[in-house]
A = this chain, B = another copy of it.
Amino acid sequence: MRTPDAAVAAANHPSTGDAGTSFTATPREFGVGARLTLAVMADDYVDVILGALRSADATGLEVQTGKVSTYVSGAEQDVLRYLSQVIAGAGRSGAHVAAAVHLSHGCPGGVSCDIPEGGAALYSEIPQLEPTGIKTAADWAIYPLADGGSGTAAADHMRDIYAAIDYAKSTGVTVTEDHYVTRLDGDVAQVLQTIAAGWILIGRSVQHVVTHATLSINSPSAS
């Protein structure tokens, strides 16, 4: 397991841009975070969702609940631990749960952040999560948003997507390729860690990288 010290070290690791510029950027400065929509298919969904949120460790995070999704900002290790605990917590109710997870890095979109100029990227470690004991199936997609470059640094989103899928095949989750997505089957923590790994590995060389996954737990059609 990763120690808290290692997480702090990763959060403060100097990052290096494509141009070789070295500087210090934290995950928060880089707009690292997530949006989560948690759906519980039962009449008592409000209680299940609130219980799952209460039981999760939000240390180090900014959490804002919106109309459609909850925004979670902080270091990767903290964000992923929180998502894993919330989603598995809802799954522990026994109800059929669907969770839409969106991890973002580099603030593409309407609300921007002060990331360094020059295509700089962020060096982060892959989060290490405690197994939850809850199984999930996830439909996963990852999007490196690089423009241009040349030589070995030339933008090639398919190369980066395939590298992330290849890495996923080494993590112990069951990987199945499908239209538009890659299906991952395993423990909630293992699946989220695999998704985060692709996102972080690509993020070491691409400033904007996002990944989306829909996780399903306790589906009646799962057998």
Say yes or no for A194: interface residue by CB 8 A criterion.
Answer: no
Q: Are A181 and B69 in contact (CB under 8 A)?
A: yes
Q: Give the CA-CA distance A111 to B162 in the complex, in Å.
A: 11
Return the contact of A35 from the options B39, B98, B138, B139 (Cβ within 8 A). Answer: B139
Q: Give the CA-CA distance A46 to B41 in the complex, in Å.
A: 9
Oligomer: number of copies: 2
Q: Give the CA-CA distance A216 to B155 in the complex, in Å.
A: 35
In the complex formed, the residue of B with least CB distance to A62 is B179
In the complex formed, the residue of B with least CB distance to A220 is B46
Which residues on the B side are within 8 Å of A41 (C-beta)?
Answer: 39-43, 45
Q: Give the CA-CA distance A31 to B104 in the complex, in Å.
A: 25
Q: Given the known inter-chain contacts A43-B42, A98-B98, A138-B68, please indicate yes or no for A216 contacting B37, CB distance below 8 A.
A: yes
Say yes or no for A4: interface residue by CB 8 A criterion.
Answer: no
Q: Quote the shortest CB–CB distance from A75 to chain B (angstroms).
A: 16
Residues of chain A in range 136-170 having any CB-CB distance to chain B below 8 Å:
137-139, 141, 143-149, 154-158, 161, 165
Which residues on the B side are within 8 Å of A139 (C-beta)?
Answer: 35, 37, 66, 68-69, 102
